Amino acid sequence: MSKNRKNQAAVIRFGPALKASFLCLLIGGSAVGYVWQKNEIFRLGRQIGQREAQLRQLRADNKQLSDQLAILHSPVMLDRRTKELNLGLAPATPMQVVRLEEPAAPAAPNHLSRQFTQRSLDSVTP
């Protein structure tokens, strides 16, 4: 019995030691990997949350700016500003509007004569 023990102590068994080390590394690595993965999930989750908040804010800003632009473009606002600035602007009367007829398609490529449009009495176009 004592002889066997003496012999066993003297022998270094690399195979089982390597297996044990590999198993430990595997378990340890899995644990570290799991923790790292969880950490990443929460980190990315925070980033997603921040980005969502940023997107919400940008959408709100965009809406606010487009509303401001629309209000500044509105006919009522333009009319009010025109009156405030006293620019002397007035809508054109229908007789002051010159309506051009749609030009006819060119008959030939070398037909380069000046084209004129006369105010028509019977075929006005809107």
User: In the complex with other proteins, which residue's Cβ is closer, 26 or 71?
Assistant: 71
Residue (19 or 119) nearer to other proteins, CB:
119
Q: Which residues contact other proteins (rule: CB under 8 A)?
A: 41-42, 44-46, 48-49, 60, 64, 67, 70-71, 73-77, 79, 91-95, 97-100, 103, 114-119, 121-122, 124-126
Q: CB count, 10 Å around CB of 29? A: 10
Residue number with CB closer to other proteins (36 or 79): 79
Whole-number minimum distance, CB 30 to other proteins, in Å? Answer: 20
Max Cα distance, the chain (Å): 131
**Least distance in angstroms from the C-beta of 9 to other proteins:** 24
* Tokens read off for 78: 């333009």
C-alpha distances in angstroms, 1 versus 10, 11, 54?
14, 16, 75
Write out the two tokens for 70.
């629309």
SS3 (DSSP) at 49: helix
